[in-house]
Amino acid sequence: MTPILPSEVDVLIVGAGPAGLMLALWFSRLGIVTRIVDKRTDKVFSGQADGFQARTLEILDSFGIGERVWKEANRMFEVSFWSPNPDGRIQRNSRAPNNVASLSRFTESVLHQGRMESFFLDGITASYPHPASPTHEIRVERMVIPTSLSIDEKKVDNDDAYPLTVTLQHLSEEEATPTQRLSNLSDGLFRSNLANDDVPSMIEQLNGRKNMREEVVRAKFVVGCDGAHSWTRKTLGKDFEMHGEMTDFIWGVLDIVPITDFPDIRNRCMVHSASSGSLMIIPRENKLVRLYIQLTEVSAGGGRVDRSGITPEAIFKAAQKIISPYKLEYHYCDWWTAYQIGQRVGDKFSKSDRVFLAGDAVHTHSPKAGQGMNVSMQDAYNLGWKIGLVCKKILHREILSTYELERKQIAKELIAFDHKFSKLFSGRPAKDVMDETGVSMEEFSTTFNMSHMFTSGIGVNYKPSALVAKPPEHRIVKSHLEVEADQIAAHGRAQSSLFLATNCTPGMRFPSFQVLAQSDARPWQLHRKMPSDGRFRLVVFSGNISNPTRQRLVNDLGAWLSTDVLSRYPLMALSPGSDPHTSTMKFKPDHYPSIIDVLLIHTAKRAEVEILRDLHEVYHPFDPKLGWDYDKVFADEESYHDGNGRAYEGYGVDPDEGALVIVRPDGYVGLVASVEKEGWEEASKWFQGVLRSI
């Protein structure tokens, strides 16, 4: 299909990096009319970000592209800590797992950003044709920059208006191609914070150019995903300046295939040398290894560094010094860059809830903790369904304000973590306990080991809002550092004092455990039945439905849901291609009966339950073309081949009590309530606060 580029769009995305592509993927799944522009000629091909955290992999899996990353990436299981012995020679001090077991079914994995960008582009293409936007397809428009943005404040409260006007300029290939330091080796210096922003000079050049291709686009929403130098953020004015500081720490990065006798080269390693700086080793796919190397001989002297002296050779020499007496050489270098550690975060993430900022456009920090790309994608994951469902008039528009509430908190936690981690990693190791200016190696490894809940992305715990109904004792949201110790002690699962589902905490992601499909005994990770398709999930933990009283309760709930809830929130043509794990697009329903998808998990003996005979139709909805849906009812039972998922135990639900859990379209718990009648009203109120009813 030849793409049609409309001049009136629901959303204009500026920037097609990880944040912009995540948004575009959401909008492709929801059938939202979207344009996405990027100033560069092409996507990233090598280098740049490479660490995928567990939560990011869960999110990518929910779109059906996680398996591709999981398959190609190098998975990191162990981390080694090296520091000087009393003679000043580096030695391995300790080893630890790189991930906490049981946090997620995924572990931290490494693959370069360019591969992931390809998977996103394929995922977007796979969403079409889409019944909600039959003539429109999202594709990245390259070599395009916005040069002006205006907001008609009189129209921002009008759902049908296009209050934003943006001028787009098309660049020549030469203008859009970044200069590289060396002709034979690609670098990432042009994206580094050591480089100046090139957009102002691009705009200046355009002013003098004849035959410019310029167009005006009107949009309901604009999202600036345009990275650390964000034009969108700067255009919004002074209130949107970022706050924070640059440090004097300069680091270089090399992606090489190393030839070395250093024994832990295929492990993640943190190496502190006595006086030559620090080094982090990240083993990657295809025998590549990424080295983050502290450049102690390049000084920023309190300001911006002179980067002309930074070459791959100089960076490599610094690495050899740190790792000595072990030998280090290479024949193949894939990519290199350098950066100055700085931590900055914006005060405001949105203007009038019409223009939003996501990713590096609104928070930046050092890349070593493998967070930037992950947090950037997760910003966009949080925002995408909200804008999409507002465009479809399904969600109250006020819900958009939860984006800043939820993601600013995470950005601040990220900056606080990075500040602590960078200081400990870039500091000189203490010679002994009396050496107060040196860094304690024990404190460094403890900080790293304690940070898994946060760095994996699993520890995210959003504040109370219309979307997050916290029980009173949970209204004060502790920082990740405060809760981490408790959570790790509790085998990595967040403990809620709400007794109904103790491991489902409103504001945190709904965990995944194995359950058995009632219809065919196939074991499923429950996440697999909750794809990112824009729907809310009501998970009914019914307990033993062989018990007649329980069965009656669950069926009364079904009847009430069907007449009083689902019919108020119907839904047409949301996303037929969105369930990537079960079957092909051809056999998807043309529409879903409701924006709320009901899933039932019971503890009865599977053999004693018949779906059609025993359960209300809400648990097996009927489609005139496809028949009954047998994919909504699951047993918590031993499988034939894959063991027992013990889902009730995992979710912390007492089978005699049961529970209702509302899960938002991004997989975060919105409400935990009783499966008895008082819980139904709570659930109904929650939906009323979030969704527009007919």
Task: Given the residues 146, 283, 367, 621, select the one marked as catalytic.
Answer: 367
Applying CB under 6 A, which of residues 10, 38, 61, 108 lies at the interface with ligand FAD? 38
Q: How many CB atoms lie within 10 A of CB 107?
A: 21
- 37 sits near ligand FAD (criterion: CB under 6 A): yes
Evaluate the CA torsion angle 596, 597, 601, 604 in order and state its sign. positive
- Residue number, 194 or 538, with CB nearest to ligand FAD: 194
- Residue number, 17 or 577, with CB nearest to ligand FAD: 17
- Residue number, 50 or 137, with CB nearest to ligand FAD: 50
- 219 sits near ligand FAD (criterion: CB under 6 A): no
Contact yes or no for 378/371 (Cβ under 8 A): no
DSSP annotation of 198 reads S
Q: Please list every residue from 92 through 151 that binds ligand FAD, using CB under 6 A.
A: 145
Shortest distance in whole angstroms from residue 369 CB to ligand FAD: 8
Q: Is 177 exposed, middle or buried (0-12, 13-18, 19+ CB in 10 A)?
A: middle
Q: Is 634 exposed, middle or buried (0-12, 13-18, 19+ CB in 10 A)?
A: buried
Shortest distance in whole angstroms from residue 20 CB to ligand FAD: 6
- 342 sits near ligand FAD (criterion: CB under 6 A): no
Residue span 321-340 as binding mask against ligand FAD, x where in contact by CB under 6 A, dash where not: ----------------x-x-
- Residue number, 243 or 431, with CB nearest to ligand FAD: 243
For residues 512 and 500, what is the distance between their CA atoms, to the nearest angstrom? 17
Catalytic status, residue 284: yes
Task: Given the residues 50, 533, 631, 636, select the one marked as catalytic.
Answer: 50
- Residue number, 15 or 64, with CB nearest to ligand FAD: 15
Find tokens 């009813």 and name the residue.
693
Find tokens 């796919």 and name the residue.
285
For residues 169 and 178, what is the distance between their CA atoms, to the nearest angstrom? 17
Residue span 7-36 as binding mask against ligand FAD, x where in contact by CB under 6 A, dash where not: -------xxxxxxx----------------
DSSP H helical ranges for 183-307: 199-207, 231-235
For residues 482 and 477, what is the distance between their CA atoms, to the nearest angstrom? 10
Applying CB under 6 A, which of residues 11, 32, 34, 51 lies at the interface with ligand FAD? 51
Catalytic status, residue 292: yes
Evaluate the CA torsion angle 11, 16, 18, 19 in order and state its sign. negative
Shortest distance in whole angstroms from residue 223 CB to ligand FAD: 11
Q: In degrees to the nearest 10, what's the CA dihedral of 542, 548, 554, 556?
A: -160
Applying CB under 6 A, which of residues 23, 32, 49, 598 lies at the interface with ligand FAD? 49
- Residue number, 51 or 163, with CB nearest to ligand FAD: 51
Applying CB under 6 A, which of residues 107, 235, 267, 374 lies at the interface with ligand FAD? 374
For residues 560 and 690, what is the distance between their CA atoms, to the nearest angstrom? 19
- 376 sits near ligand FAD (criterion: CB under 6 A): yes
Q: Please list every residue from 251 through 280 that binds ligand FAD, using CB under 6 A.
A: 253
Shortest distance in whole angstroms from residue 203 CB to ligand FAD: 9
Instruction: For residue 422, give the amino acid letter.
Output: S
Contact yes or no for 452/100 (Cβ under 8 A): yes
Q: Please list every residue from 648 through 677 that binds ligand FAD, using CB under 6 A.
A: none
Q: What are residue 346's DSSP bridge partners?
A: 242
In order of 164, 165, 235, 331, 693, the CA distances from 147 in angstroms are 13, 11, 9, 44, 39
Applying CB under 6 A, which of residues 9, 25, 46, 50 lies at the interface with ligand FAD? 50
User: How far is C-alpha 664 from the chain's CA centre?
Assistant: 15
Please provide residue 626's backbone torsions phi and psi, each rounded to the nearest 5 degrees: -115, -5
- Residue number, 342 or 372, with CB nearest to ligand FAD: 372
Which residue in 316, 309, 264, 325 sits closest to 291, CA to CA? Answer: 316
- Residue number, 117 or 637, with CB nearest to ligand FAD: 117
Q: Kindly state the number of chain residues that form the binding site for ligand FAD, as judged by CB under 6 A.
A: 37
Shortest distance in whole angstroms from residue 339 CB to ligand FAD: 6
Question: Among the candidate windows 150-158, 164-172, 226-234, 386-394, which touches ligand FAD by CB under 6 A?
Answer: 226-234
Radius of gyration over every alpha carbon of the chain, rounded to an integer in angstroms: 26
Applying CB under 6 A, which of residues 226, 406, 413, 418 lies at the interface with ligand FAD? 226
For residues 419 and 465, what is the distance between their CA atoms, to the nearest angstrom? 29
For residues 313 and 318, what is the distance between their CA atoms, to the nearest angstrom? 9
Task: Given the residues 128, 162, 292, 668, select the one marked as catalytic.
Answer: 292
Applying CB under 6 A, which of residues 64, 252, 367, 507 lies at the interface with ligand FAD? 367
Applying CB under 6 A, which of residues 372, 427, 507, 558 lies at the interface with ligand FAD? 372
Which residue in 131, 61, 45, 153 sits closest to 392, CA to CA? Answer: 131
- 283 sits near ligand FAD (criterion: CB under 6 A): no
Question: Among the candidate windows 48-56, 205-213, 582-590, 597-605, which touches ligand FAD by CB under 6 A?
Answer: 48-56
End-to-end CA distance of the chain: 35
DSSP annotation of 582 reads T
Task: Given the residues 55, 142, 268, 284, select the one marked as catalytic.
Answer: 284
Q: Output the six-digit token pair for 275.
A: 């006086």
Catalytic status, residue 367: yes
**Chain residues in the site for ligand FAD (CB under 6 A):** 14-20, 37-40, 48-51, 145, 188, 191-192, 199, 225-227, 231, 253, 337, 339, 359-361, 367, 370-374, 376
Annotated catalytic sites, by residue? 50, 284, 292, 367
